[in-house]
Structure 1
Amino acid sequence: MRSAMAMIELIFAIVIIAISIITIPIMMSIAGQSSKRIIIDDDVMSRLSSQMIDKFQARWGGEYVVDANQSIDSNISVLSGVSDLNCSRLDGVYYRINPDSTAECNLSQSPRAIPSTVGNGANQADGNVSKGIEKLNGGTETLSITSSTGEAFDINATYNVRYVPSTLTAMNANTATATWRLGSSGTIGVDNNGSLGTVLTDRTHLKRVVVRFWNNSLGVDTTLTFYKSNIGISR
């Protein structure tokens, strides 16, 4: 009886050892991939944050005129249908209706519609942000990133630019409330509560830029969003 039990125990031991031999390399591989994933994520996020800052510093819109010295006009463009921001206060030149505003308005310029198609045409998004951040819309660029382990890989950046509502939804004493909807990877190509501004009244002082960073083979899919206003300055 004891011999039979010993044989059964031996068989179980062999099976357990066999399972361990098979699964340990798999577990080590998964652990290695997880460690690599963490390294990639850290390096990607560091690079992507810098990429966002670079885009955020670009011009708010391409409608601003450039003088002979190639300096961007510091005046702000006229926005129709937004009473608290209208250029209706006259003091030698036009200013915002806000009595605290010292930024001059240029009555000859208004925000442009955001291009709906990618290309190098006059009304297309060619990715050149020196012409305004709206030129990013719909485009994809590839960023080369070198990880801390020395491994180089590519990350794609796809952009979505929209005008978004800038109206304050609630006022209570000294508190104002606004609702801003973030972008997402799943809706990178749609309005998502924003607008291209094909109708002039849809063009507000606030633009939302959504960037989807992705690489399917690496499992990278991150979406970052920033907002930029032209109140007070055109850059």
Structure 2
Amino acid sequence: MRSAMSMIELVFAIVIMGIAVMSLPLILTQVQNNNAFAMQQESILAAKAKIGDILTYEWDENSYDATASHSFVLDTANGDGELNATAGTPRRVGHIDTDNRRKFFPVATQASAIGADGGDLDDVDDFDGTSNLLTVTAGEDAGTLDYIFDLNLTTTVNYVADNANYAASPLNGFALNFANAPATPTNIKVISVTVSGGDQNITLRAFTCNIGESTLLPSRPYQ
């Protein structure tokens, strides 16, 4: 039985320990990168979920008609004239002239300004300027997590300039400009959700348009 290690064994031990020590910074960096990526994905998921929720609401305060039980297309003060109702009809060019299809109100009804109804949360622009604090954790037991952080979701809703030449083929003249939102209604709204927290600052956007909806056909008995 040997009482000591050989020189070669000592050298091997020193080399292995050196490799392990040099690897520690790389391991720590990778852990930090993984945590940052996880936080980024949580932020994106939170923003997508918020936008998805907002898009379930009516396009405008005036879109829905309770008597007809569906949403109509609205007139817009600053919308592209090519998308207005054609003279003497409740439909714009491209609408199918038949029952249960998308159309304007029988009497001209204007879209409202952003937040004009006082924020009663019945249409998408009521979410303009709202903020939600979302506490995010990486698991069920917060006491054993690598990180825990809060996300702040800030929502803005604006009209987008609607100045395209829809009669052109292909369509031209359309340019999105988020910096100069029109004060009067157009046919397009943009929903922006900015997520901050956990060293994140991410903004996702979605668009929703003034197209109304088709009514549901009455059910028929099985033949």
Q: TM-score range with shorter-chain normalisation?
A: 0.5 to 0.7
Question: Offset at 1:105?
Answer: 1.1
For residues 59-96 of structure 1, give each alpha carbon's deviation from its aligned partner in whole angstroms, at most 9, with x where no partner exists.
11112344269x4x3221122453211123435xx222
Contact 2:50 2:193 in 1 (8 A): no
Q: Name stretches of at least 5 consecutive residues in structure 1 with no aligned partner.
A: 1-20, 116-121, 184-191
Question: Offset at 1:30?
Answer: 4.3
The number of residue pairs the alignment matches comes to 186
**Could you say if the C-alpha distance between residues 43 and 90 of structure 1 is closer, same or farther in structure 2, counting changes exceeding 3 Å?**
same
**Is 2:181 the partner of 1:194?**
yes
Letter in 2 for 1:214: S
Contact 1:143 1:155 in 2 (8 A): yes
The corresponding residue for 2:104 is 105
The corresponding residue for 1:53 is 52
Q: Name stretches of at least 5 consecutive residues in structure 2 with no aligned partner.
A: 1-20, 215-223
Contact 1:44 1:145 in 2 (8 A): no
Match of 1:154 among 141, 150, 155: 150
| Structure 2 Cα separation of the partners of residues 78 and 205 of structure 1 | 8
| Structure 2 Cα separation of the partners of residues 54 and 159 of structure 1 | 12
CA RMSD of aligned residues (A): 3.3
Match of 2:171 among 154, 176, 180: 176
| Structure 2 Cα separation of the partners of residues 42 and 35 of structure 1 | 11
For residues 167-189 of structure 1, give each alpha carbon's deviation from its aligned partner in whole angstroms, at most 9, with x where no partner exists.
215875x31132223x5xxxxxx
The corresponding residue for 1:74 is 71
| Structure 1 Cα separation of the partners of residues 86 and 92 of structure 2 | 6
Match of 2:159 among 163, 186, 194: 163
Write the mapping of 1:124-135 to structure 2, written as runs, cut at 5 A. Answer: 124-125=118-119, 128=121, 131-135=122-126
Please identify which structure carries the higher strand content.
1
Secondary structure of the structure 2 residue equivalent to 1:45 = helix
**Could you say if the C-alpha distance between residues 175 and 148 of structure 1 is closer, same or farther in structure 2, counting changes exceeding 3 Å?**
farther
Letter in 1 for 2:193: V
Q: Which of the pair has the greater relative contact order for Cα pairs under 8 Å at 6+ separation?
A: 2
Answer with 1 or 2: which has the greater Rg. Answer: 2
TM-score, with length taken from structure 1: 0.64
Match of 2:190 among 208, 212, 223: 208
TM-score, with length taken from structure 2: 0.68
